[in-house]
Amino acid sequence: MAASPELIVTWSPTLADAHASLRLGFWGTPGRVVRSVFLLFVLPALLFGWLINVGMGLRLSGAQLIAISVVAALAWGGLFGLAFGAWLARFMLKSQRAQGDPQKILLWPDAIERVLKDSKITHPWSAISSIEETRPAFILHGAAGPVTSIEKSGIPSIVELEALRTYLRTKKPGKYLSDEST
């Protein structure tokens, strides 16, 4: 690596970053949301409702059973998403802060490096295929999916955000937010 990094981002993990990571990791695309809600909540609720209906002597029609199961699944999914999501975000935040608070993200000419308290994680630019900018972070993708991210909460000013966005655009193609939306 060169004598000094081209850019440095000093990031302190926040609860908002943990929530954003959970949202991206669990739900991601709209298609993934539909699939996850169906597999995690609707299908088990439908099975449970069918078992109860069989136990009661088949008192509900198929349409009633499906409607009740979907409503129950969505209600449970909403409660699960709020309660479990909040708990898991706090757990992630505690874990991230134990690894290093603040963390440094160093952008070298040939690699990106995250420096934690007891370790450092280096990803060469050749392992990054594209970059996706979201409101909370820049997500760096490899061939198989997300590799790492650069959280925007570690960027103190609009000028530095623009410098980072410009730097990343020169390094890799991707989906970047327009300058007006940040």
pLDDT in tens, 31-68: 666 777 778 777 887 788 778 778 878 777 878 877 87
pLDDT exceeds cutoff 50 at 181 = no
The pTM of this model reads 0.61
What domains does the chain contain, in order, with CATH numbers? 7-13+100-177 (2.30.29.30), 16-99 (no CATH)
Res 182: pLDDT:
44
Q: How confident is the model at residue 22 (pLDDT cuts 50, 70, 90)?
A: low
More confident residue, 135 or 27: 135
pLDDT exceeds cutoff 70 at 95 = yes
Helices 62-99, 30-37: axis angle to 10 degrees equals 120
Contacts 24+ apart (CB under 8 A), 93-96: 93/13, 93/14, 93/15, 93/17, 93/18, 96/13, 96/18
CB atoms within 10 A of CB 26: 15
Pair of tokens at residue 31: 């298609």
pLDDT in tens, 111-156: 999 888 788 889 999 999 999 888 888 888 888 777 888 888 888 8
Torsion of the alpha carbons at 72, 78, 81 and 83, rounded to the nearest 10: -100
